[in-house]
Structure 1
């Protein structure tokens, strides 16, 4: 049975409700999806969206509502993009986080072992982690694979000084050797 959209307080104008929807979804939404979430028809949602875009165009704000090929999105204005690199570490997807966790737990780890553990998508995830400075790749002395290890930036970003000490104190694991045997 399809769920009806949640009711939003009628004291807020529709443009404000759509602003909240775009913020909470955190990804581009089609006009139909916006209308469904707002509980109104497509034309009414489009009028409110135009009103919201006009509001943002005339206010001194770091945010803007933009139309993209995949829908409408509430995002940081491009003039503030430089702040992202300085203030906000890159968001990592679930796959990249799991890959990073595997590398951190087995630190160092051969890339071939990682691919066996995580699948071929790990190649791209490793590249992303290297570009972000969270993982370092170094060629294996003998063989064609790479050693993967977390960097100082990883320790700073996740506020982890010594991962092996944390794991040794964990009731589930008795040192890092147990982790190697589990997987």
Structure 2
């Protein structure tokens, strides 16, 4: 079961609840939790660049903090300045409607939003005829905001903008 748990954690870009994995594998939650802890221990013992962390009641497989600069440089090739600016607006004003974002950033933002959705940095939810955009745990993990509330993220981003 450990290999199945590892495969699930590897393939899902955001943190996942033990109960969700247990349901997928048709296993008891305590068995899944034990398997996750065993896999996490193996990564720790291997001194891997990958780690499994617990975020509240969820688990996430990610690159260790020590290697984030290397990974960010690689990923930044995929994020042009316009897309980064669009992401900054979403992060600062979230939750924000797609139409309001378009008024702020212009029509190019639709391409930026598609790219950010593909990278799992944002999520889009339909509310009536509007689409509401917010950042995800992938965004929080990538930019070092994991475990922080939306308000804390906004405050940190405002501080960064002033510096």
Q: Structure 2 length normalisation: TM-score? A: 0.49
The higher relative CO (CA closer than 8 Å, separation ≥ 6) is in 2
More helix by share: 2
